[in-house]
Structures are given as structure tokens and as C-alpha cells.
Amino acid sequence: MKYLALAILLMSSQAFAGPKLYVFDCGVLSLDSLEMFGLTEEESSLKEMFVPCYLIEHEKGRLLWDGGLPKAVAESDGPVTIEGGSMRYTRWIVDQLADMDLSASDITYAAYSHLHFDHAGAANFFLDGTVLMQTREWNAAFGGGEFVDTTLFDGLKEANIALIDGDHDVFGDGSVKLIFTPGHTPGHQALLVMLKNTGPILLSGDLYHTRANRRLRRVPTFNHDAEQTLESMARTEQLLSATGATLWIEHDKALADTLKMAPHYYD
């Protein structure tokens, strides 16, 4: 009996406790209006968007999900002006990871919801592992046209890229999945993370920019394909119902203000 209890104890101590999800502050966007996101002042008076980076730790490796604003913003003394607003960034993601004794070489996989500057700002600094990329995003980025400024991520051309078409199970056990949600960009994707204690979380990239965009099913004016976006929204809502997952709208600053930041984590 004593040995059985010991065996069970040993087995349970070795069992994988499921992935851990770390959230990083990778900047803030200040906006004069949300007109380009398809919202009037009456519909949303939001003036700030949070910019996250995430790290998922799994027994089979680490996944960096979204890379925040460009390094130059973190290096700037004050806010950096952009059309219709400004952006700021306190501590560069590579330095935040170093605070946790992690470097780019510790990152097994990097994946970006899409290649806009506020999600792939650090893409050139995570080239040691494998980059999981939708074929359609890759073609839009390097096939000419869709992305005007590719300098933020042109290092990807030399990286080990795994091209994906559709959903993808990152570690092969169903705990971390890329969810193909095109429309905002041609190869936009979201990330479903099955956390044992917290429950499933869906990180929605820029499928929705704000809660009002979700409530009103409002598509930003600059999206690649409005109809495709609405289809991805419908598919995502079905997935949320089917899995019971909690949706984290990545740019939702009110949500971010309630989340624990790395080195604290969700499991």
C-alpha cells in the first residue's frame, strides 16, 4: 500500500501540468478616434489600446505569440507619433524575457496573429526557432503589395518557416492551437490555449480590436476582406461556445489592466 502511494505520487509529480501563459506589456497605442476601426465616438470613446506579447511554456517547448511594437518605440524617450495618434513602449520584449533568464534561442516557436507593426514588431529578433506562418500571410507579405513596410520582419526570409494552411496544433496534444481567422489580413490567425486551472483562453489577435467591435460586428475600414472577417468572427463565436473558452481581445486595455503580467503566469 505504501509503495502504491509512492508510485502514484511519483507519477503525478512527473505528469505535465499543462501549458503556462505569460502576458507581457509590449506597448500602448493612443488614438484620436476609432473611426478607422469602424466605430463612431458614440459607439466607443476608447482612446487607448494595449499591445501585448505572450509566451506559452509547454513541456515540448516555448511559443512566442505576437511580438509587440517595434524596438525603436521602446528606445524612444517619449511617445512616438503615428498618423492619428501616438505609441509608447516601456521595456523591450527581449529585455523583459532576459529578466526571466530567457533569450531568443530559448524560443522554440514564434507565431504572429498577423504581420502588422504592433504584432510583429520584434519578428526580426526571434529567428532561432521555427516561425509558424500561414501561407497566405507569407504570400501577402513577400509576394508584393499587401504590407508596405516589410523591414520590421524581413529577417523572416532567412528563418526556418513552417508554412501552415488553416488551424494548427502547435505541440501535437491539442493544448495550444493556431486558429485560422482570415480577414483582417489574408493570413490572420488566433491562438487557443487550454489552461488547466484558468480554463481555455482564446487570444484573438486583431479579429476584434475592442469589445464594441465584437458587440456590433464592426469591421475596421482597413481590413483586407470585410466579408471574410465577418465569417471568421462567426466561426470564432462558435468555437468559443463549443470550448467554453474565454476571449481575450488583445488590444483591450481595460482587460489588460486586470491581468497579471510576467513573470506571473496563468496555468
Which parts of this chain interact with Zn ion (CB under 5 A)? 118, 206
CB of 243 to Zn ion, least distance (A): 23
Half-sphere exposure of residue 180: CA atoms within 13 angstroms, side-chain side: 16
Cα–Cα dist 159/125, whole Å: 11
Nearer to Zn ion, 206 or 252 (CB): 206
Nearer to Zn ion, 46 or 102 (CB): 46
Cα–Cα dist 256/254, whole Å: 6
Cα–Cα dist 62/155, whole Å: 20
- Amino acid type, 98: A
Cα–Cα dist 57/172, whole Å: 14
CB-count exposure of residue 240 (10 Å: 0-12, 13-18, 19+): middle
Nearer to Zn ion, 8 or 72 (CB): 72
Give one DSSP letter per residue of 66-116, joined into a string: EE-S-HHHHHSSSPEEETTEEEE-SS-HHHHHHHTT--GGG-SEEE-S--S
Nearer to Zn ion, 20 or 209 (CB): 209
Residues listed for the chain: 267
CB of 73 to Zn ion, least distance (A): 14
CB of 60 to Zn ion, least distance (A): 28
Residue carrying the nine cell digits 505576437: 66
Cα–Cα dist 25/68, whole Å: 8
CB of 118 to Zn ion, least distance (A): 4
Q: Using alpha carbons only, what angle is made at residue 44 by residues 42 and 49, rounded to the nearest 5 degrees? A: 155
CB of 235 to Zn ion, least distance (A): 20
CB of 10 to Zn ion, least distance (A): 46
Nearer to Zn ion, 36 or 163 (CB): 36
CB of 181 to Zn ion, least distance (A): 13
Nearer to Zn ion, 118 or 252 (CB): 118
Nearer to Zn ion, 57 or 252 (CB): 252
Q: Which helix (H) or strand (E) holds 6?
A: helix 2-14
Cβ atoms of 80 and 87 within 8 Å: the answer is: yes
